[in-house]
Chain A
């Protein structure tokens, strides 16, 4: 178990990167706390797998350094980093039994027979594969195989971190939930540093203590699921997390009054003069649908019933806007007006969140 420090780390797949666009991973400084569970979340091609491969030692970064417990391992190869990794597709040694699979990393490190037996036993209990220990690994289902790849990582007590590269991709939906819950329980019990790469926000938000949201090589925000929901640091975070994502409108802000394309809205914070592209971000959960004339009039496009609430797709000044309406509220044809709850409104300048002063 270890604290992992990334210092001025950046990566490019081009030999001599010059322009900013050459980097798939823009310079970044971050410290991963020992024993915490992180999720790296972002769309495909955002650099999250690159970052993971740098941590595991498959890639050497173009610049900067990476430290495990303050020891520089930038140029150490995978073998010597003492990390574990679970890949997108299950990796098991087909010709070995489950028991041999779990014992393999310890055997290769020359551990004593007795110790191996004890570790394999306790890991098998933790990942619940005790009943299939003497089965050949090749005949197992994908989720059992994935558990074994995970077990092979955890069998070493001194493992620095466990990295997951979209490990639930090939797992059946009902097993996904099951495995995720087990992972979370294992993390609570064993306190390994875990980094989980995914493009699925549900996976990220349920698994991790802290979520790292990435886009186009930038780390946009690192925060708890709660922070990502209520205070997205970047419009992309607001848009990417949540279903549907945050609504963003161009606007003018003057003190505590926002001018939303002709409609004045009172904010609960006051802002200094803002320069640049100013936008208001508000999650669909903070918009209330009301009777005509009570708020800002919008054009309702359609209503989607998604069981526990309704999503209303509307248009305001030709701009799409999503509203979440609680299940118990009946929507009538005359309800074509909206109210924005001030506590849910965030102000962005050039896509980044700006803090206002509370009134």
Chain B
């Protein structure tokens, strides 16, 4: 087919460009704008160059928050990915119980973030919460509002409860797509259960696991609502993750300049890690071929 050249056709993309401009580019540019300016009030701004970026990069407060964030994300990935695989492997493959399990597993995913936080906030209270009260009655000194370790355990268990289901569902879909001939061949070859997992199930799940890990990384790295509702970032700053710190800085202290610089760095970190992660995983995949 012969294509005619008509440069006016660019106008057809214009509406989308405008839409994307207003929804994404312009707000982002405002942030960029704030990040290179300072103000003494009265809506009077002056340029400060990259000062805010330097400050943020050298800020101990941000370093600590980043450290906590990395620790939190690592812990929940280390728990949720293996646990998700384990549960998916043991779920019924067909029949009534398969559907029943799927619905049960999917339920936590349907609960809004805020509500999850509230549920666990109350659940863990020693006076009226089922968990907190039960633990207290066994004589265990549990208090997530005062003890750093308790706060961390509560938030991690909450995240595992809320999000392992996502990993389970993705793995389950991956497992379901394996033809039964593979299992029969493994039987004929007298492969052990471990070998079936290692050489059939895991390789066939790699694609969905990549997506699951990436999603869980991004989501957990940006986590805000749930810990905010449960601990509010406390005790002290013990559960103040990057988002919580950012909100404190931007809205609590109204430090727009540093907060903007912080946002941009935060965004770039997530982008960089996701990109690196994706590239490594897809390269492993290619090498195998």
Footprint of B on A, CB under 8 Å?
56, 58, 77-79, 83-85, 87-89, 91, 93-96, 104-105, 108-109, 136, 138-139, 149, 152-153
Contacts and interface: CB of A to CB of B under 8 A. Distances in A.
Nearest to B200: A93
Given A95-B199, A108-B190, 7 more contacts: A56-B184, A79-B187, A89-B181, A94-B288, A104-B189, A136-B288, A152-B189
B187 A108 contact: no
A167 to B, nearest CB: 11
A146 to B, nearest CB: 12
A356 to B, nearest CB: 47
Contacts of B187: 77-79
A95 B184 contact: no
A105 B289 contact: no
Contacts of B195: 108
A96 B199 contact: yes
A105 B181 contact: no
A109 to B, nearest CB: 6
A4 B191 CA distance: 25
A109 B190 contact: yes
Given A136-B288, A136-B289, A91 B185 contact: yes
A89 B189 CA distance: 17
Pairs of residues from A and B, 4 with the lowest C-beta to C-beta distance, nearest first: A87-B181, A91-B185, A105-B189, A139-B289
A78 B190 CA distance: 9
A89 B181 CA distance: 8
B231 to A, nearest CB: 43
Contact of B188 (A79, A95, A139): A79
A101 B12 CA distance: 55
A105 B188 CA distance: 8
B45 interface: no
A79 B179 contact: no
B182 interface: yes
B192 A108 contact: yes
B203 interface: yes
Given A94-B203, A136-B288, A139-B289, A58 B184 contact: yes
B182 A91 contact: yes
Contact of A153 (B182, B188, B203): B188
Contacts of B191: 104, 108
B184 A85 contact: yes
A314 B289 CA distance: 56
Given A94-B203, A138-B288, A139-B289, A88 B181 contact: yes
Nearest to A153: B188
Q: For B179, B184, B188, which residue has the most chain A Cβ atoms within 10 angstroms?
A: B188
A98 to B, nearest CB: 13
Contacts of A58: 184
Nearest to A104: B189
20 contacts: A58-B184, A78-B188, A79-B188, A79-B190, A83-B188, A84-B188, A85-B184, A85-B188, A91-B181, A94-B203, A95-B288, A96-B199, A104-B199, A105-B189, A105-B190, A108-B189, A109-B190, A138-B288, A149-B185, A153-B188
